[in-house]
Structure 1
Amino acid sequence: MRIGIIGTGTVGRTLAGKLVSLGHEVTIGSRTKDNTAATTWAEQAGPRGHGGTFADAAAFGELIVNATAGTVSLKALQAAGAGALAGKILIDVSNPLVFSPEGEVGLDPVGTDSVGERIQREFPQARVVKALNTMSAPVMVEPGRVPGEHNAFVAGDDPDAKAEVVALLEQFGWPAGSVLDLGDIKGARGMEMLMPFWLRLMGHFGSTDFNYSLRSAG
């Protein structure tokens, strides 16, 4: 599959590397074509890895991943182009973290809205699925870093798009049944609100190799 990744940070590069290793062809996009992170990654990735702009990545991909910071995701995707996103699955991995002058972590939006919902409203023809934002980048692509059974989540309005995302996560190593469907795109609100809590847990554990494990009594 051809996959376009919007964003060249740690999350974008980690996902891109995993996808290439699985045999997918990936274009990773940045604001400018000469972005060092994108060009360096492409040089190291081999013939299935390419660098370019946000628009290049969106036009290339049959499936798109938003791996930008949540506070700038709409601008990045607007630069990618609504036409290039139309009809495609768009996996939103972002978190809208904001930091006070005192270093306290918050979210914007929060509570009654989410980045996932804003993306779906801005690009109504895209098939937005919120996923993978509740863990570190290494755990996203190598769930075995955390012992035992633990969970990833998806939320989105298109059931078929969610099923395709779950299948992709299974390629990453997530066992069948470990990915929990939280319903429509409003489920992104709770997923994004987990991130300040996750940062507290990171401080407690002193590591990013942890995740949520949920069990039902039913």
Structure 2
Amino acid sequence: MKVGILGSGDVGKTLGKGFVSHGHSVKLGSRTPDSEKLKVWRKEAQGESSTGTFSEAASYGDMLVFAPLGSAVDDVIGLAGAKNFAGKIVIDTTNALDFSKGMPPGLFTGLADSLGEQIQRKLPQAKVVKCFNTVPNSRMISPGDKTAEMLICGNDTEAKHKVTQILKEFGWAGAIDIGGITEAKWLEALVPLWVRAAVSLNSWNAMFKVLH
């Protein structure tokens, strides 16, 4: 499968490597696709990996991973071109973390809205699935616990099923589907709590797990 990754930070690069290592073809989108750091990423990722602009990555992928900073959501959608998202599964990893008052962060969306909902509103023809935003990038591929399940939400049942298959490829036991994209606010609200727990534990490798 061809996967377009929008965002070249740690999350985008980690998931890009993960898709490549499981036999997928990846184009990583960035404002600076020819930068030295992305040359290093291409060398490390090996396989079918390339870099390009946001527009090139969005048009390339049969599935898209949306992984910019939360504050850059509007800019990246504009640079990628809304038409390039139409009809595609869009895995949304973003968080609305607000560090304006320092640590620990709050949410610049508040609790009445979320980036997941905003992205779906801006891209009505896309199939947005909120995923990966509640775990550290060190756990996204091979989480280290064979019974761990990812919390996801989205409006399209088939899209969530496909994302769950991807999670299983990556070493997760599966997904816990908490409902439509309006539930993204609660997944995003977990992240300021996770930051507080990570600080208390002195471990950015910590993650939440649902026991059942």
TM-score band (shorter)? over 0.9
| Contact kept? 1:5, 1:12, Cα under 8 Å | yes
Output the CA distance in 2 between the equivalents of 1:121 and 1:189: 14
Q: TM-score, normalised by structure 1?
A: 0.92
**3-state DSSP class of the match of 2:199?**
helix
Output the CA distance in 1 between the equivalents of 2:47 and 2:161: 29
> Number of aligned pairs?
212
| Aligned alpha-carbon RMSD (Å) | 1.5
Unmatched segments (≥5 aa) in structure 1: none
Shift of 1:208: 2.3
| Contact kept? 1:150, 1:211, Cα under 8 Å | no
| Contact kept? 1:142, 1:172, Cα under 8 Å | yes
**3-state DSSP class of the match of 1:64?**
strand
CA gap 1:47/1:141 in 2 versus in 1, 3 angstroms: closer
Amino acid at match of 2:178: L
- Please say if 1:138 is aligned against 2:138: yes
**3-state DSSP class of the match of 1:71?**
helix
Partner of 2:112: 112
Shift of 1:35: 3.2
- Please say if 1:205 is aligned against 2:201: yes
Alignment partner for residue 159 of structure 2, among 161, 164, 172?
161
Partner of 2:181: 185
Partner of 1:45: 45
Partner of 2:10: 10
- Please say if 1:64 is aligned against 2:64: yes
Unmatched segments (≥5 aa) in structure 2: none
Amino acid at match of 2:14: T
Q: After the TM superposition, which parts of structure 1 deviate over 6 Å for at least 4 consecutive aligned residues?
A: none
Output the CA distance in 2 between the equivalents of 1:89 and 1:148: 25
| Contact kept? 2:149, 2:173, Cα under 8 Å | no
Amino acid at match of 1:30: S
| Contact kept? 1:86, 1:123, Cα under 8 Å | yes
- Please say if 1:94 is aligned against 2:90: no
Shift of 1:148: 6.6
Output the CA distance in 2 between the equivalents of 1:158 and 1:85: 15
**3-state DSSP class of the match of 1:201?**
helix
Q: TM-score, normalised by structure 2?
A: 0.94
Amino acid at match of 1:9: G
Partner of 1:23: 23
Partner of 2:76: 76
| Contact kept? 1:38, 1:52, Cα under 8 Å | no
Output the CA distance in 2 between the equivalents of 1:104 and 1:207: 15
Question: Any idea what the Cα deviations from partners look like across 1:141-197, whole Å, max 9, x if unmatched?
Answer: 1211xx473331111010000100011000001114xx1001000111000001110
Partner of 2:210: 214
Output the CA distance in 2 between the equivalents of 1:148 and 1:173: 7
Kindly, what percent of the aligned residue pairs are identical?
39
Output the CA distance in 2 between the equivalents of 1:148 and 1:204: 25
Amino acid at match of 2:147: E
Amino acid at match of 2:198: M
Amino acid at match of 1:189: K
Shift of 1:104: 4.1
Output the CA distance in 1 between the equivalents of 2:79 and 2:206: 34
